[in-house]
Amino acid sequence: MKDYTITVLGCGVMGSAITSAILKSKFEPYPKKMFLCTAEPETLAKQFGDEPIVQLSSCVEDNRKAVKEADVIILGLKPFMYEEVYEQVKDSLTGDQLIISLMAGVTIKELSIFSKYVAKVMTNTPARYGCGTAAISFAPAVTKEQQDLVNKLIEPIGLTVTIPEKNMDIATSLIGSGPAFCLLMMESMIDGAVRMGMSYDVARLSAAKVMEGTAKMLIETGDHPAALKSKVCTPGGTTIGGLLKMEDGALRSTIARGIEEAANISASFAKK
């Protein structure tokens, strides 16, 4: 696919994160034009107004025109809005357009009203900084060429993995909600350090760097987290004492159950 046009319907937090990552990268084939459809064009104008390939759209009629020109449509809508938006733009759909959905809880089958060529993507907010994670599921009709294009469009955000759609609710929890879970743990670490007398600024930066470094160590070694954790624990030392105190509060099972609960909530969206 060459000289193609992308239309982003619902360019909110995740839509703008994907857009930002695409605009900051270079790959072939690169889009010749991007329409960003949003209810708040002033906000996007500040972020993307100087980009030569970007055009902003806010009214329904402009959105219809943007969809009609599109070869690729990125759905960054709230899940409850997709049917309403479909009704607004359905006459502009060609049936051959590639659909990339960023919505949680909306199945590939449900998205097939837009096109049979559907890629369902779950990513997260760190995508804006090029260090996000994205899980991708493809409809059976999606061609190898289309799959390659989706990967090229999404890879600028960070890591991409391909998974079966049945695992997408898990990805919604682990990947989509994961940053909030990590931030809660980070906030707790900062609070503990501040409680003991460290300044907030030093504690904040240190906790963030500890999380970053630990993640890098896990990825590069390929070791199980338990194996790496045991290397930090010396007999009678501070680390094992702190870990046991955390286990007294059922920290491990609470985090695991949090992942489970978020995945179940994601699955419930598709049942409504």
Is 9 labeled as ligand-binding?
yes
Is 107 labeled as ligand-binding?
no
* The dihedral sign for the CA sequence 32, 127, 56, 9: positive
Provide φ and ψ at 253, rounded to 5°.
Answer: -70, -30
Is 59 labeled as ligand-binding?
no
Is 14 labeled as ligand-binding?
yes
Residues 6 or more apart from 101 whose CB is under 8 A from it? 74, 75, 111, 118, 119, 120, 121
| Beta carbons of 14 and 123 less than 8 angstroms apart | yes
| Token digits of residue 264 | 């179940």
Is 12 labeled as ligand-binding?
yes
Is 211 labeled as ligand-binding?
no
**3-state DSSP percent of the chain in helix, strand and coil, to 5:** 55, 15, 30
Residues 6 or more apart from 267 whose CB is under 8 A from it? 105, 169
Provide φ and ψ at 264, rounded to 5°.
Answer: -65, -40
Is 184 labeled as ligand-binding?
no
Tracing tokens 């970053």 back to the chain, one arrives at: 212
Is 232 labeled as ligand-binding?
no
Question: What is the greatest pairwise CA distance in the chain?
Answer: 70
**Rounded CA separation 2/71 (Å):** 10
The packing angle between helices 178-195 and 200-221, to 10°, is 130
Annotated binding residues for NADP(+): 9-14, 38
Residues annotated within the binding site for NADPH are 63
Residue ranges of the annotated binding site are 9-14, 38, 63
